[in-house]
Each structure stands twice: as C-alpha cells, then as structure tokens.
C-alpha cells in the first residue's frame, strides 16, 4: 500500500551492551560511581527545575524539568513549537534570568545568567541551526574572533594558528587555519562551529538541529564526534527531528509537547520503539508516516523541452543540460538526486529565470507555450516555487504572518493599489486556520514562529496565488514528523484538486512515500525515471551511480556525495 512506512525498533546509543556502559559510567569518565549492586548513582551536571516561559500571552514552557549528566548525550525531541529551542535559550542565557520562571542548577550551584556570555564562561555552549560563522573570514579568525590569545595586548597569531590546528584535529578536519569559511561545505562548517565551542572550554554542548542541512556522510561524521566527546566527559544536548540519529547516539531522550515534558526514556534500559517517540510527540498514533490518497492523474499540465541553463557567474559552464520534464494534473512528481545534481537550479530557472543565464528551451502550460521572463510572469502564469531556504528567500522574518501570507498576491487585497487592511486580515486569518499555523495572531512576527509553522506560512503565501503547478524544494527540511504529516496532507489535497505538484527532496523515504513518479537527476540531466510503485532506494542510487561511471567520473566518495538521505 503506497504511503506506508515500517517504523522499527532501534537500540538507543548504538548498543546497550553492559561493557559499553561499564566504560561510559566509570568514575574516570566523569559519569558516576557503580555501587556493589551494579546500579549507577550519578549527580547531574545540569538540572533545570520547573522552568516556564511565555511570549505575548502564549505559554511556550510549562514547568519543564530537565537534567543532563557529564559524559551523557541527552536528546531533546518534539514537534516544532514544542519548546525545545526556547528551553535551550533559557539555559544558554539568550533569555536572561528574570524573563522566565524556574531554577537552573549547573555543577551544583544555582545559576542566574544575564546573557550568553555568562553561560559561555561556565562552558555551556550552544550551536544554533543557523551557523554563526563569517564566510569571508578564515577558520582561525572565526574560532577566536571573540577571545583571541594575545601578548601585551596584541593578538598572538602563532598561538592562534597552533591552537586552531589542535582544535581542527579534535573535530577531524584537515583544513588549513587560513581556509576561508566560504570555501567549506556545510558539514565542515558545522565542525568548525564545534571547534569554536571547544576553544571556549566547553563542558555542556547544545546542538540545535546540527544535521538538518547535512548529507548522510557529514551527518555520520558529526555524530561520531559527538560520541567521542562523550568519552571526554562533555555533556551534550541534541535537538533533532531525525529519530534514527537520536536512537543511534542518545543515552537519554526527553520528549516535549506543547511546552511540557511528556516522556523521558532511559536508552540504556531498553530498545526504543520509534512509534513510541512519535506518539509522545504528536499525541496520536501515526499508523502510516505518509497519508493515503486516491490517485487520479489527468492530462499534462506542465511540459519542459530541451531546457538548458548556464551558470550565472561562470557562463561557460552548462548546469542544466537539455532537460525534458513534465507533470500531469493530479500528479505528484519527485526529483531525486545528490547534492549539486542541479535540482534547485532547474526549479529556479523555470520560475521566472530566477537563477542562471543563457537559458533556452520551451515551457508549455496546459498545452500552450509560454515565456516566463520574470518571477511576476511565472506567478501570473500559474507557477509557484517554495524555496528550500525559507528564512533567506521565502519569508521576511521581521514582518508579521499577515504580510508574509499576502506578499505574492497583493493585488487581491489592494483594490486601487492601496492595501485593504480588513481584507488582508481576513485572508491571512483564513489561511492561518486552514493551515493550522500556530501563532498568537496573524500580527505575530514570523521570525518568532517555529520552523514548521514558518513553512506553513510560506505554503500559504503560494497557495494564495492559486497555482496550477507548485514546485516544492525540500518542503519538510528541519521540521518534525507531525508537521511533515500535515504538509504531506496539503500536497495530497493539491493533487486531488487537479494541481500538478513537483517535490524536490533529499530524503528518499519521503519521495517514495508521497510521489506517483520519481525522476532521478545527476550532473544537470535526468538519468532515470520510476513509477511510485516500482521505485526503490536501490534503483534510484543505481541510476545515479551508473551515470557517474558513464561520465568517467568514477563512483564518488561517500563523504563527497551529499544529497539523498536513506
């Protein structure tokens, strides 16, 4: 049955073998003492007691209790908006003492952090999902930007480079300290962030969605580093929506829902059912990870022929190579491929030539050839594109929900070229209710919303344009399983209404679960196509690898492949 996905049992923290925990829990590792009866008694490095926090009348945290021991990886999971990031901002001093209720005990003493500098001085370091690195500065400059070693008031560059090399070795990077951040991939940038944390004598490391933008190989490398820090007695708090990764490395799992602690799981005691975590997160059973729908595919709605695109900065480089592509009414078509295959470039070039140069080829919409010289022309024709980077390209975070929803359809709420505030409020409120956007009201700043609710605002913006074809680029990146399910339902509703839907995703289970057809892209060309019923992860990867070999490039190294997340 299409739409179902087996959810199995995972032993948390790799293996629950007694030998492993005998080592991890030894006094030398800083994780407690073993009694004569074989039970372990430990004093928590961190305790957060009865923490509550509210924003503009919305209760974000309600009497949350949370603790972490030295040398422990404690995973914090929950839906977007459950309060995970808020709790960590309380801990790290982003929300200072006095702005919340409750108590923080760190290394046996009550702490009242005034700002993030206070928490960092004790070794509590938070790495946010959006990396805080300066692209045009070197690795060394980024690591020691706020606390450079100095002699007589002058930066000691020899010491900076010596310590940078040591830190890079600790996180497994071989790059030169002089390497610019802009020349690194996202995975290596994440490791630089961890090196920066180590430079501050980290005792408690908080990672907020550290693998959300990483490929499988980079994610595995980062998790390996996290497990190595465990052996050094560093406590780690891992916020992640990737439950397979949580199950692999976590010693303990705490589940938040609606700002409350609803489940606490000791991963050393039992294998963990993924279904249990999901049920705790969303307060309901998900018999299927992907919703069922009745498939009724009609006539072609979009047809692309001989589409070619060249790089906007290197015009001699052809990025999209004579591509033919189409989608029918009521059809969900997936585009699979490795990072750098050209999927996003292809989508953006279609959407009013918003990426690329020297673009050629034809576009037929509902059988009629059209020309789309601009984004405005694409919207008018009936195309919509939901970008993979919602924060930078999809939303104006400083504006409220109302303005973001109507942004692409101002003509509908601005008769006589003057915005009708009442009409705008009504439309935005309707989409808020329809899309179940969790916010205090439509006047709330969009940047204050969780990732899943921000994504719903982006979708609302483009649904308001009433598109014939909707292109979704990584539509569920960085959002939880409950919000993902809701977005899958929206995709199904669009297809059942006769729209054509194109989904670009790096998660193969997602493509296999929601698509009627999957096209495989590699090196700017489509190299395979499978129906939803015949597609498998193996077939998709085989098509990519076969094309790699036929191009004479050889099979790429796992660390450089990027892209598809099995």
| pLDDT one-digit tens code per residue, 490-521 | 999 999 999 999 999 988 888 999 999 999 99
Residue 33 in this model has a pLDDT that exceeds 60 = no
Average pLDDT in the 255-284 region? 83
Instruction: Write out the two tokens for 59.
Output: 């209760």
In whole angstroms, give the CA distance from residue 41 to residue 357.
64
| Span 91-113, pLDDT tens digits | 999 999 999 999 999 999 999 99
Element (H, E) at 336: strand 332-337
pLDDT in the model for residue 51: 95
Q: Does position 263 have pLDDT exceeding 50, yes or no? A: yes
Q: Answer with the residue of higher pLDDT: 152 or 468.
A: 468
Q: Where are the alpha helices (DSSP H) in 200-273?
A: 216-231, 243-249
Mode of pairing for the β-strands spanning 357-365 and 368-370 = antiparallel
DSSP string, 66-129: EEE-TT-EEEEEE-TTSSHHHHHHHHHTSS-TTSSEEEEEETTEEE--SSHHHHHHTTEEEE-S
Q: CB under 8 Å to 303, separation ≥6 — which residues?
A: 325, 326, 363, 364
CATH 3.40.50.300 matches 288-382+468-566: yes
Instruction: State yes or no: pLDDT of 547 exceeds 80.
Output: no
pLDDT tens per residue, range 435-451: 889 898 999 999 888 77
Query: Helix 274-282 crosses helix 481-496 at what angle (to 10 degrees)?
Result: 80
Closest CA to 223 of 248, 260, 254: 248
Average pLDDT, the chain: 83
pLDDT at 372 over 60: yes
Q: What mean pLDDT comes out for the span 189-214?
A: 84
Q: Are 516 and 532 in contact (CB under 8 A)?
A: yes
Model confidence band, residue 558 (pLDDT cutoffs 50, 70, 90): very low
**DSSP, res 313:** S
In the predicted structure, residue 249 carries a pLDDT above the cut 50: yes
Question: What's residue 284's pLDDT?
Answer: 61
Average pLDDT score over residue span 360-365: 96
Residue boundaries of the structural domains of the chain:
10-32+43-282, 288-382+468-566, 391-466
Sorting pLDDT into bands at 50, 70 and 90, what band is 23?
very low
For the stretch 395-419, pLDDT in tens is 999 999 999 999 999 999 998 889 9
What is the average per-residue pLDDT within 190-199? 86
End-to-end CA distance of the chain: 20
> β-pairing, 383-386 with 469-473?
parallel
Crossing angle of helices 186-199/157-171, nearest 10°?
120
Q: Mean per-residue pLDDT for 477-489?
A: 80
The SS3 call for residue 253 is: strand
> Which CATH fold would you assign to the domain 10-32+43-282?
Rossmann fold (3.40.50)
Q: Give the mean pLDDT of 315-337.
A: 94
Average pLDDT in the 479-486 region? 78
Structure tokens at 47: 């305790």
Please answer whether residues 124 and 92 qualify as being in contact, where contact means their C-beta atoms are separated by less than 8 angstroms: yes
């Amino acid at each position: 049955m299409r739409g179902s996905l087996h959810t199995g049992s995972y032993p948390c923290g790799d293996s629950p073998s007694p030998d492993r925990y005998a080592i991890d829990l030894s006094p030398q590792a800083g994780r407690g003492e073993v009694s004569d009866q074989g039970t372990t008694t430990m004093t928590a490095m961190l305790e957060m007691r009865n923490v509550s926090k509210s924003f503009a009348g919305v209760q974000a945290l309600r009497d949350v209790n949370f603790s972490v021991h030295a040398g422990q990886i404690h995973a914090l999971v929950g839906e977007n908006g459950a309060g995970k990031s808020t709790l960590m901002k309380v801990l790290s001093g982003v929300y200072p003492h006095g702005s919340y209720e409750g108590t923080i005990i760190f290394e046996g003493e009550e702490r009242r952090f005034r700002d993030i500098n206070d928490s960092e001085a004790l070794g509590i370091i938070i790495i946010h999902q959006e990396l805080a690195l300066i692209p045009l500065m070197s690795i060394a400059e980024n690591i020691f930007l706020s606390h450079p070693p100095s002699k007589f008031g002058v930066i000691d560059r020899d010491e900076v480079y010596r310590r940078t090399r040591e830190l890079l070795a600790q996180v497994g990077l071989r790059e030169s300290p002089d390497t610019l951040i802009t020349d690194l991939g996202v995975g290596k940038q994440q490791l630089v962030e961890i090196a920066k944390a180590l430079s501050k004598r980290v005792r408690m490391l908080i990672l907020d969605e550290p693998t959300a933008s990483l490929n499988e190989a980079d994610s595995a490398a980062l998790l390996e580093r996290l497990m190595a820090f465990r052996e050094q007695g560093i406590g780690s708090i891992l916020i992640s929506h990737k439950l397979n990764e949580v199950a692999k490395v976590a010693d303990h799992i705490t589940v938040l829902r609606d700002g409350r602690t609803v489940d606490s799981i000791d991963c050393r005691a039992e294998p963990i059912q993924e279904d249990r975590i999901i049920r705790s997160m969303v307060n309901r059973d998900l018999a299927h990870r992907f919703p069922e729908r009745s498939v009724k595919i009609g006539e072609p709605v979009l047809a692309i022929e001989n589409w070619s695109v060249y790089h906007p900065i290197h015009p001699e480089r052809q990025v999209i190579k004579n591509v033919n592509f189409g989608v029918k009414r009521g059809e969900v078509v997936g585009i699979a491929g490795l990072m750098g295959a050209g999927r996003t470039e292809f989508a953006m070039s279609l959407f009013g030539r918003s990426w690329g140069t020297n673009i050629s080829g034809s576009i037929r919409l509902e059988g009629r050839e059209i020309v789309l010289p601009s984004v405005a022309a694409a919207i008018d024709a009936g195309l919509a594109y939901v970008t993979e980077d919602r924060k930078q390209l999809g939303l104006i975070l400083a504006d409220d929900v109302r303005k973001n929803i109507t942004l692409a359809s101002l003509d509908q709420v601005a008769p006589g070229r003057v915005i009708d505030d009442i009409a705008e409020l009504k439309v935005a409120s309707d989409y808020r209710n329809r899309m179940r956007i969790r916010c205090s009201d439509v006047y709330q700043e969009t940047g204050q919303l969780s990732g899943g609710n921000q994504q719903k605002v982006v979708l609302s913006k483009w649904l308001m344009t009433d598109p014939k074809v909707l292109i979704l680029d990584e539509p569920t990146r960085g959002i939880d399983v409950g919000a993902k399910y809701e977005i899958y339902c929206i995709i199904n509703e669009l297809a059942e209404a006769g729209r054509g839907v194109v989904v670009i995703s790096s998660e193969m289970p997602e493509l296999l679960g929601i698509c009627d057809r999957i096209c495989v892209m590699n090196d700017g060309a489509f190299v395979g196509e499978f129906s939803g019923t015949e597609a498998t992860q193996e077939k998709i990867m085989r098509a990519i690898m076969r094309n790699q070999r036929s191009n004479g490039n050889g099979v790429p190294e796992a660390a450089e492949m990027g892209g598809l997340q099995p």
